[in-house]
Amino acid sequence: MLQLDIREVNNQQELAEMFDQRWLVLRSPLGMEKGSERDNHEDGAVHLIGMCDRKIIASARLRELSPGLGNISYVAVLPEFQNQGIGTRLMEELITKAQARNLKTLRLKSRINAIKFYQRIGFTEQGDSSDFLGIPHIFMQLEIQP
Ligand SMILES: CC(C)(COP(=O)(O)OP(=O)(O)OC[C@H]1O[C@@H](n2cnc3c(N)ncnc32)[C@H](O)[C@@H]1OP(=O)(O)O)[C@@H](O)C(=O)NCCC(=O)NCCS
């Protein structure tokens, strides 16, 4: 059984490692350069990581958009660790963090390939798909139970 420690990033070194892992999963396969994995909303966001043998194998970000409304983005599990329930555990922990922050609604933009993954967690599709980074995406939403 995989020993997985899910927790928030602790320091700048871990933050840098997390950006590397995020880039590896979400941007490198698209041929995008280092740096393309970040945006202007990193400060103040909750950065959750999944650690295994002191290596970051999973990560995701939660941030508050407005009172009660949260956004989840950059959900990434290293390819060799996918389909083992790690992404689901990461999302469950993020939802707990969101509850603790009094968020009522969570939104995300799902790649078409990940829709089923988010649906199983309870997210529902909102509106039509649109292209982002050349990949069809769809907005999804979850109402959090208190
Ligand atoms: C999408 C992603 C985050 C999901 O993470 P994951 O760890 O692979 O997700 P899980 O293992 O929890 O669930 C994935 C599938 O594995 C299955 N699964 C869950 N636990 C399992 C287990 N113990 N054994 C085998 N299969 C399992 C689930 O049924 C699920 O199937 P479904 O998605 O077809 O419903 C991950 O695959 C990823 O990083 N993909 C590339 C980047 C990406 O697309 N990110 C999303 C951007 S919106």
Cα–Cα distance list, 135 to 34, 41, 43, 80, 110 (Å): 19, 22, 26, 22, 10
Average pLDDT along the chain: 96
Using an 8 Å Cβ cutoff, are 93 and 101 in contact? Answer: no
Mutate to test the pocket of ligand 1, among 88, 109, 123 (most ligand atoms within 8 A of CB): 88
pLDDT of residue 53: 94
Residue 35 lies in a domain: yes
What pTM value is reported for the model? 0.94
CA dist., res. 131 & res. 84, Å (int): 28
Count Cβ atoms below 10 Å from residue 144 Cβ, excluding itself.
16
Sequence-distant (≥ 6) Cβ neighbours of residue 133 within 8 angstroms: 30, 32
Average pLDDT of the segment spanning 36-57: 97
Q: Is residue 20 part of a domain?
A: yes
Q: How far apart are CA 134 and CA 42, in angstroms?
A: 23
Its domain, for residue 38, covers 5-107
Decide if 97 is inside a domain: yes
115 within a domain of the structure (yes/no): no
pLDDT tens figures, 124-140? 999 989 999 999 999 99
- Domain assignment present for residue 58? The answer is yes
Q: Which CATH number goes with the domain that contains 82?
A: 3.40.630.30
pLDDT for 146 beyond 80: no
Report the residue among 26, 56, 117, 118 best suited for mutation to probe ligand 1: largest number of ligand atoms under 8 A from its CB. Answer: 117
Tell me the pLDDT tens digit for each residue of 77-101: 999 999 999 999 999 999 999 999 9
CA distance 34 to 37: 7
What atom in ligand 1 is closest to the CA of residue 137?
A: 48
Give me the phi and psi of 114, to 5 degrees please: -105, 0
